Amino acid sequence: MAQTPNGQQEYFVVKAKENGVHVIGLTRGSDTRFHHTEKLDKGEVMLAQFTEHTSAIKVRGKAVIYTHHGIIDTSDEKQA
């Protein structure tokens, strides 16, 4: 499980760029399952943390995700 230098679990921030952005928590373990979902409206921000129960998140919709690894904008599209 990834930890920050002070031993805490990693935090991430999701900021919705449109109404109806879904943030879905996925469980840790041999069976990966959805265990929690939040719906954000434009401008809303969710601060969350990876835990012993949450190993991954899925973000559906246009949002900006901030982690200590960098910033991800889900609306960025590469042109072929």
Looking at residue 1, its pLDDT comes to 47
Residue 45 has pLDDT above 80, yes or no: yes
Place of tokens 């129960």: 53
Domains of the chain (ranges; CATH) run 11-73 (2.60.40.50)
Beta strands in 1-80 (DSSP E): 11-16, 21-27, 34-40, 45-49, 54-60, 63-67, 70-73
Q: What is the pTM of this model?
A: 0.77
Measured between alpha carbons, how far is 32 from 2 in angstroms, rounded to an integer? Answer: 18
**3 within 8 A of 41, measured Cβ to Cβ:** no
Mean pLDDT of 73-80: 72
Radius of gyration of the chain (CA): 13
